[in-house]
Structure 1
Amino acid sequence: MKNLRWPSLLLLLFFAATQVSGQALSDSAYIRQHYTKTEHQIPMRDGVKLFTVVYAPKDKTQKYPIMLNRTPYSVAPYGEAKYKTSLGPSSEMLREGYIFAYQDVRGKYMSEGEFINMKPIKAKKGKKDVDESTDSYDAIAWLVKNVPNNNGRVGQWGISYPGYYTTVGLLSNHPALKAASPQAPVTDWFWDDFHHHGAFFLPHAFNFLTSFGQPRPQPSPTGAPRFNHGTPDGYDFFLRMGPLTNANAQYLHNNVAFWNQMMEHPNYDAFWQAMNIRPHLTNIKPAVMVVGGWFDAENLFGALETYKTIEKNNPKAYNTLVMGPWYHGGWARSNGQTLGKVSFSQKTSEFYQPQIEARFFRHFLKGDGKGQLALPEAYMFNTGANQWREFAAWPPKNTQERLLYFGPNGKLSFEKPSAAGGPSYDEFISDPNKPVPFSEETTVGMTREYMTDDQRFASRRPDVLVYQTDVLREDVTLAGEILSALNVSTTGSDADWVVKLIDVYPDTAAQNPHNPASVKMGGFQQMVRSEVLRGRFRNSYEKPEAFTPNQVTAVNVPLQDVLHTFKKGHRIMVQVQSTWFPLVDRNPQKFVPNIYQAKAEDFQKATHRVYFTPQQPSYLKVKVL
């Protein structure tokens, strides 16, 4: 620096100052300078008051739309002198200027009333009947009437559980609600979050409910503390816990009501069906933009199914879908360039926030909402190829359905296996006392990275079947739904079936700069999509059925949508297994009426077979773009 001339130094300082001013102030400082915070108790139609925080622009030269976020996760910090460090969906929208309103939902934190998980929607309501749709209506009505300087238009957004409340807000039918963005919305808890096709996602449910599920007898600004496992090794913790009946005896002590309800309802009965929001998604009037992440470990199902249901039931509604290469909420909580060891070659969140999300809300809340909004029906990131794609429909129309057949010697091919010689099945021994781990990392929870994790650790186990194609001679892009159609047998009377779709990198794959030098991408087995089906539900989720030992049985495992390009020089791999621990609780492999009441002596080894003859094929049904 001592050799710099003054003009050069001044120029350097000028560019530094320009960069600071270009980035503007930090969000936290900007909020305090440009927004005023007020706190309110908003009365609902039954007299219950919901605690609501409003951040309004200090500038009064124009009127602003209201952006509403209803949450069970706290609107903290509490007290009008304490400000949030960020507002709204993004810094872009914070600086553009909106009135941001955050509300503790009924029965959570500082709001009055009783909290009920996924409170069922009442199709027909009396004047005093309440559910989350009426609470949404009453909140919007109060805000439009009582918050100064608003333009009479309201937008709603939220991620995860707040995404569910955004979906429910669509049912309020308040005329001021013009635009809503359910993002990774909780939708149906028998397929999302805690369950996947009836299989129980143990660490996710246990870790969440040990805190969130604790009773709150009166309004409070604090929630329950997180559970302390006493070890970083979740595999060991949950294995030592034993059958699920031990969870209460050892840890929960019957204090978590929703855990008890789950244990009483292992099947898709009226308890779960009443929470399903999808049948109510009719007569949708606001513009909708559903957002999700291809690698969302929690609510991928919710994003895809919310979009598809609204599209089916409301063909004239403005309804769009955005899917990026994100973990749960990654579009708002990261730059979206990497996940785990995988790189997407660009900061996808920094494109999405200004170019998609901000444009959507600006058009419907600040414009007249009538002109053409230059966004496609579906804005989708193609993983593997690492590029954004626009589609006029999702799933896209220009796909060809093809079958990827399992075959002898670990072969995976678009050609149907022949009947000539060779084995007709593969088999493995599944031991619930030595289950296949879901990750090679030591963790007590469901990691967000598991959705893209390297699967070589699993492919080397004897209780995981592996099928892969030859090296691809050209790119293969899969777009839309995938179905794994298996023909299987077991020596037991119950079994889970896990299917994983994997992109196998060539040995010469380049390193990703964000990884430590020790992480080599050559031969990396990136999980692209995975799913599990609890075998007892193969024919009905309401009425489980035992397997007949050693009888060949069809089991279909639906995998969720993908948009992924398997590049030339890569391979396509499929892995099949029956344990996935502790991500999925252990199936005893002996049929019991309520699987959550299984005793230690019910857990038994079983030999599972997967068949691949012309008469009893096993395959993946895919859509090739």
Structure 2
Amino acid sequence: MLRLPAFLLLLPGLTLAPAARADEAPEAPKYEPREHYTKYEYRIPVRDGKKLFTVVYLPKDAGQGGKTYPLLMTRTPYSCGPYGVDRDGIRRLAPSEDFLKAGYIFVCQDVRGRYMSEGTWRVMTPHLDAKRGVQDVDESSDTHDSVQWLIDHLPGNNGKVGLWGISYPGFYTAASIVDSHPAIKAASPQAPIADYSQRDDGYHGGALMLAHNYGFYAAYRPQQTPTVEPKKWTAFDYRDRDAYSYFLRLGNLDAIASTFAGADPDKPATNPFFTELVEHDSFDDYWRARRLPEHLKNIHAAVLTVGGWYDAEDLAGPLAIYHAIERQNPGTPNRLVMGPWVHGGWMRGIGQQLGAIGFDGRHSEWFQKNVLLPFFEQHLRGGADARLAEATVFETGTNVWRRYDAWPPRQAVRRSFYLQAGGRLAPGAPGAAEAFDRYVSDPNRPVPFIGYTALGMPKDYMVADQRFAATRPDVLVYETEPLEEDLTVAGPVGVELFVASTGTDADFVVKLIDVWPQDAGPEPAQPPRDKPADVEPPKPNFGGYQQLVRGDPLRARFRHGFDKPEALVPGRVEALRFELPDVNHSFRRGHRLMVQVQSSWFPLIDRNPQSFVRIRSARPEDFQVATQTVYRGGAQASRIELRVVDPAKAQAAAKP
């Protein structure tokens, strides 16, 4: 999850144009929100007596002559500052300037236990289905009480409330509409966390998302409340330029956890949130209490869930939230949008490029104007029908928007591709004879997840060229012949591997890759984000480019369930069945499908010692070399399963 979400970042400021020539119309004056809104700060009491700090920007004419406005509210653990005197903070609360001009009562609330709000903050607050008294509180109850107070006390409100938020605020948006207050008419959880331990920020396939969580918890710490924002935000000092060497040198997770520094970087301090994450390394009661989807019931608000295909933090969350609401709230308007964005990119960037891959359009602006604003206008102000499809999803590869009446599309057909001899990948099942490929995995020389030196988790790793990995002896590579027709894949990618190991534990990372033709030329020039259109970026040569489409691991100790860690028996063949997160990608004619299989992906995920020990405290001698065998014959034919859509049957929306 991005820990400084989009609504906490100032939108790019408008610049004044040079003086107009005599034959040109003068440019419209810059919109100044402070001329139209007044800031107020409140401490709203909730049922257990705690007070939640809330910032309100009220239109100056609210209540005058019967003028009313809807409320648009976000709840955040990242501060509703700047506190006190207004410094144009309203721009941090409005999804876009169009919302400012349309006129809303903008509300921001510090959630319980963060910054200026009282109480105790908890990781992904557990929802309480049965509340026995005023001391039983959760995000739903805090929101219910706050909404009632706002409706009762703010002049000129029309009695309708919308909720929205990105990342952790996306979680709070989703959690707030369980048993929703009747005034909440619309909600848009964006990049929401649904289950921290299952393919969202914390763990993927039982493996810790190390680089991301370490980077986040270096800045996110417990705090005494109330407290204001620091005068200066300081970046964590890795004292290194390469996360790969940094984490490898530190060793196990306990050692890594001990490196968090306070104000004095020479005095190590642990972060209890990171330690808590590492401690709960299986799906235990701690995570069961924090899993949100099964609680998403009794929702009366219209819901628009938003995510990005290249969200390295919370790709799975929006899909899980959408499906849970769809399943448990029949009749509730429930829509899904998935675009060509990184985490929160629909609010922070243009949405036309990631790394070397271009998307042929300003998709963020299109979404803001044609989807998000019409959604809230319809449900909070009685505006025109936004006419949103059940699923509005961007198709990468072809770079078009598709409108489906379900996600995954009902017309998708399952099609298997099998690992074959000679590194081939083909639809036909291999012969009955036993066949296999082997590689040696050394946890002290893990496969990197990017082919260049960097700190943290670069977002463009999700489309990065995988040729650096394909040349390693500890990575198996399988690819199809060049495609004769486009192959469009929509939905989760199934994986079935038959494996054996000489160790007692192992990770198996599977990557689905789009291989460009050898004669592919440079991409058309696209202006880099926030640069003038006449500045051309470098033109990469795409001949043979191996573009990552999707990848994920499974830690073999969890092959029978994430709550049931179990050692491998050396030499015994095991079936590993899991899914890679959803895609909506078209492999173009002349391209190839490629699958890579490996046993490390460092430091995106933590190292598996390949021995069945407590990973967080593994000793140097526990990190053991192991030979991994992947079977591809007879009843042990390893494969991937794709959901294929005939492009001729897919309804394409007009390209924005």
**Same fold per TM (> 0.5)?**
yes
Alpha-carbon shift at residue 94 of structure 1 (Å): 2.0
Alpha-carbon shift at residue 246 of structure 1 (Å): 0.8
SS at match of 1:211: coil
Residue pairs, 1:64-75, within 5 angstroms: 64-75=69-80
Quick one: structure 1 residues 280 and 510, their matched pair in 2 at CA, closer, same or farther if it must change by over 3 Å? same
Is residue 393 of structure 2 the alignment partner of residue 380 of structure 1? yes
Alpha-carbon shift at residue 81 of structure 1 (Å): 3.0
Q: 2:622 maps to which residue?
A: 602
Q: 2:640 maps to which residue?
A: 620
Is residue 94 of structure 2 the alignment partner of residue 81 of structure 1? no
Q: 2:32 maps to which residue?
A: 30
Structure 1 unaligned runs (5+)?
1-8
Q: Select 1:551's aligned residue among 561, 569, 572.
A: 572
The superposition leaves residues 382-428 of structure 1 with CA deviations (integer Å, 9 ceiling, x where unpaired) of: 111100000011111111111011101110111112247xx811111
One-letter code aligned to 1:437: P
Is residue 566 of structure 2 the alignment partner of residue 532 of structure 1? no
One-letter code aligned to 1:265: H
Residue pairs, 1:116-265, within 5 angstroms: 116-128=122-134, 129-191=136-198, 192-216=200-224, 218-222=226-230, 225-251=234-260, 255-265=270-280
Number of corresponding residues: 605
One-letter code aligned to 1:228: D
Identity %: 47
SS at match of 1:489: strand
Name the CA distance, whole Å, in 1 between partners of 2:603 and 2:23: 55
Alpha-carbon shift at residue 443 of structure 1 (Å): 1.7
Q: Select 1:316's aligned residue among 326, 331, 356.
A: 331
Q: 2:361 maps to which residue?
A: 346
Is residue 56 of structure 2 the alignment partner of residue 54 of structure 1? yes
Alpha-carbon shift at residue 544 of structure 1 (Å): 0.6
The superposition leaves residues 193-241 of structure 1 with CA deviations (integer Å, 9 ceiling, x where unpaired) of: 0211211011111121122134436423339744211122111111111
- 1:335–1:349: 8 Å Cα contact kept in structure 2? yes
Alpha-carbon shift at residue 480 of structure 1 (Å): 1.1
- 1:406–1:618: 8 Å Cα contact kept in structure 2? yes
Alpha-carbon shift at residue 33 of structure 1 (Å): 2.3
Q: Compare 126-135 and 269-278 and name the one that shifted more.
A: 126-135
Q: 1:6 maps to which residue?
A: none
SS at match of 2:629: strand
Name the CA distance, whole Å, in 2 between partners of 1:15 and 1:147: 44
Alpha-carbon shift at residue 248 of structure 1 (Å): 3.8
Alpha-carbon shift at residue 372 of structure 1 (Å): 4.7
- 1:456–1:525: 8 Å Cα contact kept in structure 2? yes
Q: 1:454 maps to which residue?
A: 465
Q: Compare 154-163 and 144-153 and name the one that shifted more.
A: 144-153
Residue pairs, 1:516-595, within 5 angstroms: 516-517=537-538, 519-592=540-613, 594-595=614-615
Quick one: structure 1 residues 319 and 10, their matched pair in 2 at CA, closer, same or farther if it must change by over 3 Å? closer
Alpha-carbon shift at residue 247 of structure 1 (Å): 2.3
SS at match of 2:497: strand
Quick one: structure 1 residues 250 and 89, their matched pair in 2 at CA, closer, same or farther if it must change by over 3 Å? closer
The superposition leaves residues 419-468 of structure 1 with CA deviations (integer Å, 9 ceiling, x where unpaired) of: 47xx8111111111111111123222111111111111111111111111
Name the CA distance, whole Å, in 2 between partners of 1:367 and 1:13: 43
- 1:202–1:584: 8 Å Cα contact kept in structure 2? yes
Is residue 114 of structure 2 the alignment partner of residue 108 of structure 1? yes
SS at match of 1:245: helix
Name the CA distance, whole Å, in 2 between partners of 1:444 and 1:16: 48
Name the CA distance, whole Å, in 2 between partners of 1:208 and 1:224: 13
SS at match of 1:212: coil
TM-score by length of 2: 0.89
The superposition leaves residues 550-601 of structure 1 with CA deviations (integer Å, 9 ceiling, x where unpaired) of: 1111112311111110010111111111100011000000011x32221221
Q: 2:284 maps to which residue?
A: 269
SS at match of 2:438: strand
Name the CA distance, whole Å, in 2 between partners of 1:581 and 1:461: 14
Name the CA distance, whole Å, in 1 between partners of 2:507 and 2:569: 15
SS at match of 1:353: helix
Name the CA distance, whole Å, in 2 between partners of 1:492 and 1:161: 38
Name the CA distance, whole Å, in 1 between partners of 2:514 and 2:97: 35
Alpha-carbon shift at residue 350 of structure 1 (Å): 1.3
- 2:127–2:139: 8 Å Cα contact kept in structure 1? yes
- 2:193–2:314: 8 Å Cα contact kept in structure 1? yes
Quick one: structure 1 residues 113 and 470, their matched pair in 2 at CA, closer, same or farther if it must change by over 3 Å? same
Quick one: structure 1 residues 13 and 511, their matched pair in 2 at CA, closer, same or farther if it must change by over 3 Å? farther
Is residue 631 of structure 2 the alignment partner of residue 611 of structure 1? yes
The superposition leaves residues 64-102 of structure 1 with CA deviations (integer Å, 9 ceiling, x where unpaired) of: 110000000111211133222443222222221111101
Name the CA distance, whole Å, in 1 between partners of 2:457 and 2:254: 21
Structure 2 unaligned runs (5+)?
1-17, 262-267, 527-535, 646-656
Q: Select 2:411's aligned residue among 398, 422, 444.
A: 398
One-letter code aligned to 2:636: Q
TM-score by length of 1: 0.93
SS at match of 1:307: helix
- 2:378–2:386: 8 Å Cα contact kept in structure 1? yes
Aligned-pair RMSD on alpha carbons? Answer: 1.9
One-letter code aligned to 1:308: H
One-letter code aligned to 1:69: T
Name the CA distance, whole Å, in 2 between partners of 1:14 and 1:156: 46
One-letter code aligned to 1:577: Q
Alpha-carbon shift at residue 12 of structure 1 (Å): 4.6
- 2:247–2:256: 8 Å Cα contact kept in structure 1? no
